[in-house]
Amino acid sequence: MDTLRQRAFSHGDTLSSAPNYFFIEPHDTQEDIIRKAASVAPTGRQFTWQQNEFTAFTHFGINTFTDREWGDGKEAPMLFDPSDFNARQWVNVIKGAGMKMLILTAKHHDGFCLWPSRVTEHSVKNSSWKNGKGDMVAEVAAACQEAGIRFGVYLSPWDRHEASYGDSPVYNEFFRNQLRELLTNYGEISEVWFDGACGEGPNGKRQVYDWPSYYRVVRELQPNAVIFGFGPDVRWVGTESGVGRETEWSVIPDVIQPVDSLSENNTFTADEMFIPGDRMADDLGSRERLLEAKTLYWYPSEADVSIRPGWFYHAGQDSLVKTPQQLVDIYFNSVGRNSVLLLNIPPDRRGKISDPDIQSLEGMRRLLDRIFESNFLAGAAVSSSSEIEGFEARFLTDGNPDTYWSADPAETTATIEITLQEPQLFDVLQLRENIRAGQRIEQFYLEVWQGERWQRICQGTTVGYQRLLRFAPVKAHRIRLVISQSRLNPELMEAGVYSTM
């Protein structure tokens, strides 16, 4: 690699010596490009975020009281008046469901702020709630900190109330000021959530967001926070179904701009070179896409979905809450497809999560706990066709996230054979790559020994942080995982087989 160009592009906080980007040089061969793609790794903040696996969104605001999804910014603040708001109830429900972070909609498109913002009158300070003395962001942040779960904020760039919207320089400073308020007064913020919604302001002009300046505010005030969506740390999966791609790459091309000429004294950050936008194509990171790239970047996906048809609470949707089994299916198709699941749970007009939502979440948690209670590979005998001393296949079943198996650097395929202590009936495969070194596996399949031959029971493409596959129940004593294609020598942190029965 070009060491100057690698040195001159700073990727921020570091998890390991591996970078979270690469430039493609004109002289790079196809082999060079694939090797670089396999060597891109997450930053520390990205890896910490990925470990959340399952997080909560709470849409709550003026729309809750007007029974709308999108407000127009003309709503009277006095309408906001939850009768029995309880942030601890939110957090207890969310934590009980197994979610590790709560992201609060601090301001939606209508511009109404759930904190007493100094830069607008359209906020809780002019509401009926607590006679204008309340601060919902403060109460939710405190409840999260008390319960030991992370806290994040969604601040809508589109503001249909603010008069300066459309006067781009003026509104950008207004928005930065709101960001500063949220990022300085409420303790640690783990995720800042931006969408790209953008309309015309009162002057008839479309607002031009100054994204790099927003990122600078976040990095200055909350350096450990990831920036989602129209931000350089985490991307939107591309739908609001909570379903990730069956082939979900975290390394994708041309998220950052190429830098054609750098001197040794010049430095650039990923934030400055980031190209905001939604990445929605079915194929984001295949070899074919990579070979056309000018840059490669670690950009993992977050899959969002609401537990109800709408994002805000509507009493008419109480009978339409997703069932526990539907939520489990979403979990397998998001967390189990190398994404973090962001599940929206909208509180009602009381300011509490409603009973139908709670019942569904509790049912989902029971189902997941039952499935993942016992890893049938625990205590099994494990061997592999290739391994490095100190990174043997036996580490795949030790339950320790700090150990992993690695094939020899010269190998891009491998076979791992596992003999269970006794025959078991199972229908779920779990795999986790050692993404601290990159994402490498492109194709794999699982086989079981059926007396006289090996029988293939499932197959997949990418693994990434976690892959979950369900298949028809099978009873077996010996199983074999075959990694048939990998960009570099494959590395797996964990493997498991489970039963949904």
pLDDT tens per residue, range 343-390? 999 999 999 999 999 999 999 999 999 999 999 999 999 999 999 999
> Among residues 371, 389, 406, which one ends one of the domains?
371
Is the distance from CB of 148 to CB of 52 less than 8 angstroms?
A: no
Confidence of residue 271 (pLDDT cuts 50, 70, 90): confident
Whether residues 192 and 103 fall in one domain: yes
Cα 106 → chain centroid: 19
What is the C-alpha R_g of the chain? 24
Specify the 3-state DSSP secondary structure of 381: strand
Instruction: For residue 230, give the CATH number of its domain.
Output: 3.20.20.80
Cα separation, 28 vs 487, whole angstroms: 16
pLDDT at 119 over 50: yes
Q: Residue range 473-479: average pLDDT?
A: 96
Cα separation, 160 vs 200, whole angstroms: 9
101: which DSSP letter? E
| Contacts with 320 (C-beta within 8 Å, 6 or more apart), sequence order | 308, 309
Whether residues 187 and 71 fall in one domain: yes
How many domains are there within the chain? 3
Whether residues 310 and 233 fall in one domain: yes
Predicted pLDDT of residue 7: 30
Whether residues 88 and 220 fall in one domain: yes
- pTM value is 0.94
Q: Which residues of 284-319 are buried (b: 16+ CB within 10 A; e: fewer)?
A: bbbeebbeebebbbbbbbbbbbbbbebbbbbeebee
308: which DSSP letter? S
Q: Is residue 465 part of a domain?
A: yes
* Amino acid code (one letter) for 178: Q
The parent domain of residue 82 ranges over 49-245+300-371
pLDDT tens digits, 26-80: 899 999 999 999 999 999 999 999 999 999 999 999 999 999 999 999 999 999 9
Predicted pLDDT of residue 201: 85
End-to-end CA distance of the chain: 50
Whether residues 109 and 8 fall in one domain: no
Predicted pLDDT of residue 129: 97
Instruction: For residue 407, give the CATH number of its domain.
Output: 2.60.120.260
Is the distance from CB of 230 to CB of 272 less than 8 angstroms?
A: no
Q: Is residue 321 part of a domain?
A: yes
33-42, 102-111, 253-262, 277-286: lowest mean pLDDT where? 253-262
Whether residues 64 and 92 fall in one domain: yes
Cα separation, 150 vs 140, whole angstroms: 11
> Comparing 204 with 62, which gets the higher pLDDT?
62
State the Cα angle at 436 between 433 and 437, rounded to 5°. Answer: 85
Whether residues 257 and 388 fall in one domain: no
Whole-number average pLDDT of the chain: 93
Q: Is residue 99 part of a domain?
A: yes
Q: Residue range 226-247: average pLDDT?
A: 95
Whether residues 191 and 215 fall in one domain: yes
Cα separation, 365 vs 373, whole angstroms: 12
Q: Is residue 376 part of a domain?
A: no
Whether residues 346 and 387 fall in one domain: no
Cα separation, 288 vs 381, whole angstroms: 38
Cα separation, 223 vs 77, whole angstroms: 33
Whether residues 304 and 290 fall in one domain: no
Predicted pLDDT of residue 151: 98
Instruction: Spell out the alpha helix ranges (H) of 228-337.
Output: 270-273, 287-290, 324-332
Whether residues 163 and 256 fall in one domain: no
Cα separation, 248 vs 151, whole angstroms: 26
Q: Is residue 152 part of a domain?
A: yes
pLDDT tens digits, 322-349: 999 999 999 999 999 999 999 999 999 9
DSSP string, 277-307: -----S-SS-HHHHTT-SEEEE--EEEEEES
> Among residues 267, 283, 298, which one ends one of the domains?
298
Give CA separation, 442 vs 247, 413, 462, in Å.
9, 10, 5
Task: Tell which residue, 53, 51, 43, 465, has the closest CA to residue 219.
Answer: 43
Q: Is residue 155 part of a domain?
A: yes
The share of the chain scoring above pLDDT 70, in percent, equals: 95
Give CA separation, 143 vs 84, 100, 132, 321, in Å.
15, 13, 20, 25
Is the distance from CB of 77 to CB of 129 less than 8 angstroms?
A: no
Q: Tell me which H or E stretch contains 419.
A: strand 414-433
CA 266, 268, 272, 276 dihedral sign is positive
- By CB neighbour count within 10 A (0-12 exposed, 13-18 middle, 19+ buried), where does 121 fall? exposed
Pairing of strands 467-486, 491-498: unpaired
Whether residues 219 and 78 fall in one domain: yes
Cα separation, 208 vs 235, whole angstroms: 20
| Contacts with 246 (C-beta within 8 Å, 6 or more apart), sequence order | 337, 460, 461
Cα separation, 471 vs 477, whole angstroms: 17
Confidence of residue 443 (pLDDT cuts 50, 70, 90): very high
